[in-house]
Structures are given as structure tokens and as C-alpha cells.
Structure 1
Amino acid sequence: MDVSSKAGSYISTTQRSAQCDSHGAYDSTAILLGTKVMHWSACPHCVRQANMASRARAAQQAVEERQRRLETRLNQAGIPLRFRTKDFASFVADTDDKEKALSVAMEFAHNFSRHRHIGTTMVFSGMPGTGKSHLATAIARHVMGSHTILYTSAMDAVRMIRDTWRRDAPQSETQILQMLAEIDLLILDEVGMQYGSEAEQISLFDIIDKRYRDVMPTMLITNQNRHGLRQFLGDRSFDRLRENSVWQSFNWTSQRGQIMHLSI
């Protein structure tokens, strides 16, 4: 079929049968300039797969770039060095309670897109050395392939806000809160280990409230029980956390203590 003509030449198309090693027979279309073949189309299935792979690579590169910009701007992002090798496979689930904690963590990680959509709050509560940070790190490592994460202590998050109060601060409090709100998964470790001053409560409430309003998932790691966390955070922040939340207790003895005991 002619689609244009100029100076005695014209552009048209023609078809022929072709064979793809992966997908079998298909109709290949050629663009003709006069009688000269300019291009034969490739297997449509291969083209579709290549386009999907290209879009996936572009999406992953975009997320990685967002993570790099985040770490550059905050300079406190990322998983603590001690926990960077932790994953789900290395978590020793040798009791029913530990198996349940592992299952809850894996469900959150593997279905993070859904939790991201509904803004789930995850709370890991238990004594030091029970594996809370281990599973939080495993979640972070799984999620950060396709989403941005910030793993930081609650005190460091408060300091980010406090640092904006200086006259020479490069960023405003509003800008920091907005950045903390835009992270796909914010993990706050050591919640409840601070002084619990009114200023800290206000700063943490601002962070939690901003993410609550923007329907963004947040993870809190704490040594406190429900009553202790409510007292530390205050009623307003705690009420935000209770809505659409998962509370996972790590109610067993410290694994660090067991390892030390075995080595003595």
C-alpha cells in the first residue's frame, strides 16, 4: 500500500513469513522505498519482551538514582554496616514464635507494593538481641531493589529536624519532613531509647503524622511494649500507628546472649 510518493518513488509495505527461534512463525513486515527494502520487522514477541525488559531496567535505574539522591541529601541513609549481610535465609527460626516473626516479615517484604499502597505500619517489639534489626534489614534489602528506603535511628531522624533550626542550615524543617515523607519505606530503629522529651515527641509525631497523612508505610523497631511505646511517643503518635498496623512481638531471650554463652 502506498503511503507517500515523491519524484517517482514511493513508500510502501509488504509482508513475508518469518521464523523466530524462540516463538516460531510470524508475519514480518517490510518498509519499501520504491523497490528497495528498508527494514524487515522482528518477531513481535521478542520485541515486546525487549521493551518490557528495557522498561524494567529504566524503572530500576530510576529507583537507584532516587536512592543515591536520598543518601546524598540526607547523608544518613542506609542499612547499618553490622546488619548488611542479614537476610531471611540467615534468620534462625527455631521456635514457633520465631517462625511467625519470619513469616510476618517475609509477607511484608514480598507484598510490599500492596503495603505501600495502603500505608501499613509495622512494629517490631522486643528485647535487644532478638532479631528485630535482622528481619528489618532483610525487609529493607528485599524492598530496595524497586523502592527507596531509609533505615535510621529515631534519634538520628530527630537530629535531622533539629539541624534545620540552625541559622546556616542548608535545608528547612519543611524540606526534611517532605523528604522523609516521600521515602517508600522509612525504618526507625531504637524507638523509645531517647529521653522522651516533649521536643522529641513533637519531632517524631511530625514525621509519623506526615507519613500517615500521605499513606506511606513506616516500620518502627523498639524495645518497648505497647504501654511503654505509647508513653514515649504520646497518644497522638501512637493512635496514628494503631491504624492499619501490624505489631510483631519478639518475646524470646536474646540470641546474642545465647551465642556468647556458647562461646565461653
Structure 2
Amino acid sequence: MLQRASFRGLRLTEVVCSVAKVNVQIRLLSTTMDKGSNFFFRQLFDPVSSTYTYLLGDTCTKDAVLIDPVLEHAERDATLIKQLGFKLIYAMNTHMHADHITGTGKLKSLIPGSKSVIGRDSGAKADMHLQDGDKLTFGNHTLLATATPGHTNGCFTYICHDQAIAFTGDTLLIRGCGRTDFQEGSSETLYDSVHKRIFTLPDHYTLYPAHDYKGMTATTVAEEKKYNPRLTKSLKEFVHIMDTLNLPYPKMIDKAVPANKVCGLY
């Protein structure tokens, strides 16, 4: 609640400043309310794989979705969802991960009625297989599934236009991008996906990646178009950068990919 300003004993300039401050507070509050006060957002983290999991919900209908859950935290996520009174509709993946096992299959047993979701081109099992342009609705909110392959064939970016946000998976990271040297990876395809499907979003859109290894939590379209050290380069330069990263073989890939092909359950 905003407290009533007291102007007793203040000079005229101080009164004007106080009134202006209150007005700014009111405008900020109104902006937040206008954006949709029934939209719930929570960012969760796995320190082992540096994976972000996102819980989105409609506080009126109590429908919710969970993006990129991790197997080891499935019970944590299920407990949080139940504590908040949400009904999990979809447990979704942005792609078939190679660095951790998805929690979508486990969540289906913890929260009966929820459905697992992944891109059709991933080749993984799920209750729902997405194609470019599909929409997923939870309450009064909608995620647009936009195909952004390159890191893997089945990569998707989930866009919520009403909230001016997008979940980019490994296609676009904060000041980086996912690897393209395994699992159907293609530097040319990833570059095309980012420039045609993500960088064409409005500059103010906030982007939430599947991972971050430096403690960053979010970025914007404008920031990445200006500061991303890889994707601000020409295609030729980008391909050279990706071809010379010389990164070690992913530790979890031989375990994670087979498990993720069957929704994270053996």
C-alpha cells in the first residue's frame, strides 16, 4: 500500500518532489497491474548442470506450465506447485538435453494429469509433440512454440507475447549460444534461427535461457543484438568461432540423451 505523503514543515520544492515521487510510484504500480497481475513467474535453478527451470501460471485459473525441469528436482518442483495451489498442465522441454535428465516423466507420476511436451523433431517420446507455430494455453496465457533448431533439430523457443518474454533454451544463451558439435548440431542453422526467429522480436523482450554459467538470470533482445560475442559476427565468423571452441565431450550425454528419448524415465 502507498502511504499518504506528509507535507507539514516542508519547503515548496520539497513538496513538489514528494508529490512527484508518489505519482511515479502510482504510475509504476499501474504499469505492473496493466501488464497482467494474474501472470505468475518463478525461475528455479540446478547448480550441478546450471539449468534454469521456469514455472509459469495463471493465478486466477491456477493452470501452470513448467519449462525444462530437471529429474533431481522433480519433487522440489512438484511440492512448490502444490504449495502454490497450481494445477500443472504441461511439463515442457525446450529440446532434448544432453547435460541433464529431464524431470518431465517423473513429474507425470508426481502430478497425475500433467502432460509431457517436446518438439517433434527431437525424436523423443512425449504426450505432445510440437511443430512450429503451435500454441500452448494455460489459463488466460499462451506460449507460442517457435522452432529454433541448430543446437539440436528439435529446439524450440517459447514466446509469451502478452508478457514480452521468451524462453530460448540453448539456442540463445546470455552472451553466448548452445554448442553445435553434437546431436544434429549445425552452426549455420543456429545462426539462422537466432537472427530470423529471436532477434526479430521487439528489442525490449526479456529472454530467459535454459542455462547460465556466470550467475546471470536474464537478458533482452537488444542486449544480445549488441553484446553477444558470437552472434553479432557474420555467419562466416560465427561458424569459425563454433568450429574452434574445442570444448570437452559433454559429461552426461551418454546417460542423458537415451533417458531423455523416453521422457526422462528408463
Indicate the structure (1 or 2) with the bigger Cα radius of gyration.
Answer: 1
The structure with the largest helix share of the pair is 1
TM-score for the superposition, normalised by structure 1: 0.29
TM-score normalised by length of structure 2:
0.29
